[in-house]
Amino acid sequence: MESDIVEHTGSRTTRLLGASVFVGLVALVLLGFFVAPPDDDQLDAVRMIFIHVPSAIFTYVAFVTTAIGSVMWLLRRSIWWDTVAGAAAEIGVLFCGLTLFTGSVWGRPTWNTYWDWGDVRLVTTLILFLMMIGYLSVRSLGGSVEATATRAAVVGVLGAALLPIINRSVEWWENNTLHQKSSLTDGKLEGMTLFTLFVGIVVWGLFFAWSLIHRFRISWLERELRTTDLDQALRDRRAEGHRV
């Protein structure tokens, strides 16, 4: 039986998104390194904000997407939403890793340390990162598609429950963190620094959309292939039975 061969997961939309990400990244590098001014206190180290903050924002967006997809699976058994949840989690792990890495690199010149194990913001973010790696591991566990998706959905919702705790940790446990409060929501940024950060957020948003669409399509095709594989195997078995 002939089957449609999918050569790639691109479309006009994703190509446009991809090109926008590329142009945006070039603009971000130029703005971040050559236009935005150094900070009074942190000097050039402040430029890490243009990567760190967008990564943190889209970590939140990705894991909220995973949580929504997980809830939709639990409520409606929607394979489409389960696939979205898995795709968003993979991208979220990437962004969360980037947030931890850039925060650590930024911490060395500003805080005088890469990491502090007692810091509530840092450690809760690491817990989120590990939980979402756990989520991806659970998705890879054996068993029926239904059971795997349900187990993963529970972990996905639990992981997202950490987000408000992480977000408010700098307010709730002020004496337990080196991390500053939010500059963006408190209006502590302006001029080219604010503009460049805004560009960073837009570029990361486009990249999130681009990678989510591609990853979703790949996951969907993998699922289709597994189903096709199974159907073909059943047909072959039946054919063997007829021959005997």
Partner 1 sequence: MTDTLSPRAPRTGRRGSRRWLPAIIAVGVLAAVVVLVLNLFTGALFFYNVDEAIEQRSDLGDDRFTLQGIPIECSITKGTIGDEVVTAFSVSFGGAIVDVVHRGDPAELFKGGVSVVLDGAWVEGDPGVAGFDGLANDGWYYSSDRMRVKHDEDYINEDEYDSRLAESRSQSQIASEVCGT
CB of 181 to partner 1, least distance (A): 5
Using the rule CB under 8 A, is 154 a contact of partner 1?
Answer: no
Alpha helices (H) in 112-144, listed in sequence order: 120-140
In one letter, which amino acid is 214?
H
Does 82 contact partner 1 by CB under 8 A?
no
User: Per-residue DSSP letters for 52-115?
Assistant: HHHHHHHHHHHHHHHHHHHHHHHHH--HHHHHHHHHHHHHHHHHHHHHHHHHHHHHHHHHS-S-
195, exposed or middle or buried, with CB in 10 Å at 0-12, 13-18, 19+?
Answer: middle
# residues contacting partner 1 (CB under 8 A): 52
Return the residues of window 89-148 that contact partner 1 according to CB under 8 A. Answer: 109-113, 116-120, 123-124, 126-127, 130-131, 133-134, 137-138, 140-142
CB 117 within 8 A of CB 131: no
Residues of span 39-78 touching partner 1 by CB under 8 A: 39-42, 46, 49
* Segment 179 to 208, residues that bind partner 1, using CB under 8 A: 180-183, 186, 188-191, 193
Nearer to partner 1, 189 or 202 (CB): 189
* Among the residue ranges 64-72, 79-87, 175-183, 202-210, the one whose residues contact partner 1 (CB under 8 A): 175-183
Closest to partner 1 by CB, 67 or 209: 67
Q: Which of 6, 15, 26, 37 binds partner 1 (CB under 8 A)?
A: 37
Residues 6 or more apart from 111 whose CB is under 8 A from it? 178
